[in-house]
């Protein structure tokens, strides 16, 4: 290939809807960076939203915010039936054909369909059969079959359907992006990925404009929270079952026994499960602060802490995952205590010297030793260590750096 094509057309295809919590960070933000770094790429995005939101009064303002987030890109919206409705693949393919027509990608040049997840990619294969211009970039976000928790006949059916959908998506994909090398290894080991196709590994990246480290901001937030003389351990995020609030509580309870000045900072709108576990372990309420921060405030709360916790059990979902919280912790100057089963991040944290791993289930002595190791380094290096964590995140987990990999896939598919 002599150089990038001057007529690269990309349509990002998303099925989770306009209110999906990952839409901004994992779809709109990278599209915006791609627009700045590669203005020769014509961008469009098609978002399918469940019909149950059709009369939601929030939809118009949300759609306007989405358009504003990706200047220069066409933004298209369609409604879909609930997930797992009969003939879903054919219905999504019909919506995609309408989206391509609305995007007005004329001519015979290639059109890259950047499909978020296997459901959109499987639908795209039906469009590809009739439109030779279509090239499918499958963006694999995790192990969807393992994420299904339903039991009985329904669970069997959903897992069988997920396996079939993934095979359909992979057999016709022209390129692949995976969130971790561990996910690629899993696809190859299970025989799902047998072809050599253009590939990238780009996981979840932090918004480096919103997440950063600033000693003055750290000091101000610590003073406001009355934590200036505390060693603060932080958990930030939702409280879904895979976040293991019981393990988070067990870790802090062990550390609090060893370090009288330890304090737990919970940044979440769903703090109660973790608070309940802490109470059950006898952790005094005075040692815990919980805040439901807006997205714009989260970074300052993270900066107020000293160590971040990211503890998950040994499941396939976690072994191939790429939780954005890891990058956000680091970017705000927090070294991380994490379990060894979190995608590529566990080995990366140890290799880069920005974290410590502990086993699951939690072993109190091991947890204390990990936190103490990080505390010792913080006591020695202070803000210099925090700045190092932030710089590591910017160098490896930012769209400023990683967007180039996606652009290369677009160019390869359009050649």
- State residue 276 phi and psi, 5-degree precision: -65, -40
Instruction: Classify the C-alpha dihedral 18-24-26-32 as positive or negative.
Output: positive
Greater model confidence, 148 or 324? 324
Rounded-to-integer distance, Cα 160 and Cα 146, Å: 11
Pairing of β 8-14 and β 41-50 = parallel
Instruction: Give 395-406 pLDDT, tens digit per residue.
Output: 999 999 999 999
pLDDT 10s digits, 48-90: 999 999 999 999 999 999 999 999 999 999 999 999 888 999 9
Residues 23, 341: Cα–Cα separation, whole Å? 25
**Bridge partners for 215 per DSSP:** none
Candidates 105, 59, 58; CA nearest to 78 is: 59
CA 355 to chain centre: 19
Please tell me the distance from the alpha carbon of residue 81 to that of residue 408, in angstroms, as a whole number. Answer: 34
Asked whether the predicted pLDDT for residue 103 surpasses 90, the reply is yes
Q: Where are the domains of the chain?
A: 8-203+399-414, 215-396
CA distances from 72 to 67, 116, 176, 409 (A): 9, 21, 25, 20
**Can you name the CATH fold of 8-203+399-414?**
Rossmann fold (3.40.50)
What Å distances lie between residue 316 and 116, 145, 211, 266, 364, CA to CA?
20, 10, 29, 27, 25
HSE of 401, CA atoms in CB hemisphere, 13 A: 16
Q: Which CATH architecture has domain 215-396?
A: 3-Layer(aba) Sandwich (3.40)
> Given pLDDT bands bounded at 50, 70 and 90, which one contains residue 149?
confident
* Fold matches, 8-203+399-414 and 215-396: yes
According to the model, what pLDDT value does residue 295 have? 87
Residue 31: the pLDDT is 97
Using CA atoms in the order 168, 173, 179, 180, what is the torsion angle rounded to 10 degrees? 90
Cis status of the peptide bond prior to 361, with omega within 30 of 0: yes
Q: Does residue 182 surpass a pLDDT of 60?
A: yes
Residue 7's pLDDT band (boundaries 50, 70, 90)? confident
Q: Which of 413, 359, 157, 122 is nearest to 250 (CA)?
A: 359
């Amino acid at each position: 290939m002599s150089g990038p094509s001057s007529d690269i057309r990309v349509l990002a295809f998303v099925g989770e809807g306009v209110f999906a919590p990952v839409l901004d960070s994992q779809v709109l933000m990278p599209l915006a960076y791609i627009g700045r770094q590669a203005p020769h790429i014509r961008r469009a995005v098609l978002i399918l939203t469940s019909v149950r939101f059709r009369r939601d009064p929030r939809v118009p303002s949300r759609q306007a915010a989405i358009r504003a987030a990706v200047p220069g890109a066409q933004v298209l919206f369609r409604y879909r039936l609930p997930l797992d409705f009969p003939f879903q693949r054919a219905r999504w393919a019909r919506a995609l054909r309408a989206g391509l027509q609305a995007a007005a990608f004329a001519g015979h040049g290639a059109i890259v369909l950047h499909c978020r997840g296997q459901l959109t990619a499987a639908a795209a294969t039906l469009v590809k059969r009739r439109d030779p211009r279509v090239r499918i970039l499958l963006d694999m976000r995790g192990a969807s079959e393992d994420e299904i928790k339903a039991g009985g006949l329904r669970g069997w059916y959903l897992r069988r359907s997920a396996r079939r959908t993934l095979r359909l998506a992979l057999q016709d994909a022209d390129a692949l992006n995976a969130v971790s090398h561990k996910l690629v290894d899993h696809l190859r080991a299970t025989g799902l990925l047998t072809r050599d196709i253009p590939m990238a590994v780009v996981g979840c990246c932090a918004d480096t404009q919103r997440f950063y480290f600033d000693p003055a901001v750290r000091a101000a937030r610590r003073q406001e929270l009355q934590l200036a003389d505390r060693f603060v351990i932080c958990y930030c995020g939702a409280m879904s079952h895979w976040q293991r609030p019981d393990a988070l509580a067990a870790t802090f309870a062990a550390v609090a026994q060893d370090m009288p000045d330890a304090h737990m900072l919970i940044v979440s709108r769903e703090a109660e499960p973790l608070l309940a576990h802490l109470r059950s372990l006898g952790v005094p309420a005075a040692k815990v602060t919980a805040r439901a921060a807006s997205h714009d405030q989260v970074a300052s709360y993270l900066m107020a802490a000293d160590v971040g916790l990211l503890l998950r059990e040994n499941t396939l979902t976690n072994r191939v995952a790429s939780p954005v919280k890891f990058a956000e912790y680091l970017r705000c100057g927090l070294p991380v205590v994490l379990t060894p089963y979190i995608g590529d991040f566990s080995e990366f944290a140890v290799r880069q010297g920005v974290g410590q791993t502990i086993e699951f289930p939690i072993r109190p002595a091991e947890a204390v030793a990990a936190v103490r190791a990080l505390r010792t380094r913080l006591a020695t290096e202070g803000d210099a260590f925090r700045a190092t964590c932030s710089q590591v995140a910017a160098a490896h987990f930012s769209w400023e750096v990683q967007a180039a990999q996606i652009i290369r896939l677009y160019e390869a598919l359009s050649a």
